[in-house]
Structure formats: structure tokens, C-alpha cells
Amino acid sequence: MRQRAVGGLWLPAGVGLALLVVPIIGLLQRAPWSDLPSLLGSARLRDALVISAVTSAVAAGASVLLGLPLALALSRCGASLRRLLRVAVLLPMVLPPVVAGTALLFALGRRGLLGQWLDATFGWSLPFSTAGVVVAATFVAMPFFVITAEAGLRSADAGLVEAARTLGARRSVAFRRVMLPQAAPSLAAGAALAWARALGEFGATITFAGNLRGRTQTLPLATFEALEAGRPAEAVALSVVLLAVSIVVLVALRDRWLTR
């Protein structure tokens, strides 16, 4: 009976799988493999590659630096506060990207809630700057690190930490030498997810930081511009690069997703 029930699912399952796989095949089929080095070597695409590499790396680092204390707080606080904090953490993950960019603009723009103070006090203007790209990428990427890191910290053996404390280790030492090594695989996975999300960010970036070549134009923005300008070969070449990065992240995290 169970095999018969499963058999009835093959048709919709096949349609669903085709919906996921066929677009990737279509992209690879249109890729200009022989011209790929020259396309990626052009000044315009090289600028986008450099900006994406720098901003995504900085955003991933900021996600870890700011997200680890938040993940630790989530793993230790009470259930009611945890639910409230988790809503705040998860919201950027489900928020439409353009809405995220608009929210950043009204919060950190020159006339924004905090932006006007930053501009008047420090002379900082985040919109339409490379720093703005980092802020937008961090906003959408950090939740991926926080949720993954929280799961790892919550699964760590608290008894080992208490044993270290009983033996005289300071709280910071017990956290660094006992808890962090246990949660290290989750922290690494969260950092990889945050980096991949930052690298692929589009909507919040174009809304908050714009699409300025050599300043805020990342790989996704350059891909969009190439399509709009009638340069499909460039768009496909950049898409192949982003696809390769996604595959690398999946392979790196295969022990978490592909072998269970």
C-alpha cells in the first residue's frame, strides 16, 4: 500500500524536479564556454567581481562578528524572549528584497532614522556607497548565520561547560575552549551560508546602494544590467560564476545536507 501511495507521487515530483533542474540546464547550455575567460576578463565585469568579492567577504565577517553574540543570546535566553528575538532575526529572510532596501534607506539614508545622525555627527553617508553594499548584504545574510549558529550552540553539551567551570575555568575560557569547538561545524556552515547569501544579494543592494559601476555594482547587478543592455553572453557568464559558487557551497556543506 505504501509503495502504491508513493508511486502516485512520482508525476508531480518529477514536474517539481524539472522545474528546479531545467532552468539550470538551460543556463549551462547557453554558456559561452570558449569566450568565458575573455568575458570575465573585461574591465566592467572585473570591477563587479572585485566589488562582490570584497563586500561579500566583509559582510560575512560582520555577520559572524555581530551574529555570534546574538546566536549565543538566543541559545541561552528564556522561551518567550527567544521567540521574540527569533522573529526579529528571521524577518529579513522572508522580507521582500526591495522592501529590505527601502527599510534600510529610511533607517540609514541621509534623512533616515539613524542616517541623519550619522551624517551630521561623522559625515557618513551609506546610500550609494560601497559601505552601503556591505550593510545591505549583512542585513540579509546575518540571519542565515545566526539561525545556524544558534542550533549548533544549543546542541553543545552544556555539561562539559559546567565541568570546565567547576574545574576553575573562567566563563570566557570555558566558552572559547569547550563550547565553541563543539559548535564549530555549525558556525562554519553559517558563515558559508551568510557569505553565499551576501554574494547573491540583489534587491536590497540596488534599492539602498544603487548600481554604480566600480562602486556598488556587484555580480548580480552586473548580470541584470547586461540583460537589460542586450548583452546576454555577459549575463550568462556572470550567472555561471554565481552558479559555480553555489555548487561549491553545497559541496562544502554536503555533510549537513547531502548525506542525511
**Percent of the chain surpassing pLDDT 90:** 40
pLDDT for the residue numbered 106:
93
Q: pLDDT tier at 260 (50, 70, 90 boundaries)?
A: low
Please give the domain boundaries of the chain with CATH numbers for all domains.
Answer: 35-257 (1.10.3720.10)
153 vs 75, 133, 134, 250, 254, CA distance in Å? 6, 30, 26, 22, 20
Averaged over 239-260, what is the pLDDT?
78
Amino acid at 54: V
> Bigger pLDDT: 139 or 36?
139
Which of 56-60, 78-82, 153-157 comes out lowest in average pLDDT? 153-157
Residue 124 has pLDDT above 90, yes or no: no
